[in-house]
């Protein structure tokens, strides 16, 4: 009996189920928005650490809204959920679409948020992610 296929499945299964990304995985996944609306990749890596902890399935309930996914996109303005049916849904998407590892739709929505509200939509930016950003650089060994 060959255990090689079983071993490969066991080895790959955690990667398939991954929701908690590393700093370097985040850098690679969002590199296309580096510099968009003047926000650097290092700023984004810092912001995402402080908002979602690099978790693509993060859901945070606040007093008046819930935020979804890696970028913590709010159902109050940006996406649609059953919790707030009157959401403006500016990104034209269901909030649960932000809870997977495919960040394509997340990044499209982030670009809209930046165009409407700017980086101030993410409160972590100014106090924690606007200076001394070198620590957020990915350094693969």
Q: Is residue 31 part of a domain?
A: yes
Number of CB atoms found within 10 A of residue 99's CB: 17
Q: What backbone torsions phi and psi does residue 68 show, to the nearest 5 degrees?
A: -125, 140
Q: pLDDT digit string (tens) for 88-104?
A: 999 999 999 999 999 99
Residues of the chain with pLDDT under 70: 1-18, 141
pLDDT of residue 141: 52
Total tally of structural domains belonging to the chain: 1
pLDDT of residue 108: 97
**Which residues, including other chains, have CB under 8 Å from residue 8's CB and lie 6 or more apart?**
none
Q: Is residue 7 part of a domain?
A: no
CA geometry: angle 84, 102, 134, nearest 5 deg: 100
Q: Is residue 1 part of a domain?
A: no
Q: Find the domain containing 132 and state its range.
A: 12-136
pTM of the model: 0.84
Q: Is residue 20 part of a domain?
A: yes
| CATH number assigned to the domain comprising residue 110 | 1.10.530.10
Half-sphere exposure of 133 (CA within 13 A, CB side): 18
Q: Is residue 126 part of a domain?
A: yes
Q: pLDDT digit string (tens) for 5-26?
A: 433 333 343 444 558 999 999 9
Rounded CA separation 68/24 (Å) = 21
């Amino acid at each position: 009996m060959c255990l090689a296929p079983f071993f490969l499945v066991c080895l790959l299964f955690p990667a398939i189920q991954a929701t908690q990304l590393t700093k370097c995985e985040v850098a690679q996944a969002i590199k296309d928005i580096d510099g968009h609306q003047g926000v650097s990749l290092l700023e984004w890596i810092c912001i995402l650490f402080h908002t979602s902890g690099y978790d693509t399935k993060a859901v945070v309930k606040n007093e008046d809204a819930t935020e979804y996914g890696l970028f913590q996109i709010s159902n109050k303005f940006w996406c649609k959920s059953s919790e707030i049916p009157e959401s403006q849904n500016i990104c034209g998407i269901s909030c649960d679409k932000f809870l997977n590892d495919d960040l394509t739709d997340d990044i499209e929505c982030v670009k809209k948020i930046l165009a409407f509200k700017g980086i101030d939509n993410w409160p972590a930016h100014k106090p924690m992610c606007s200076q001394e950003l070198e620590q957020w650089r990915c350094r693969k060994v």
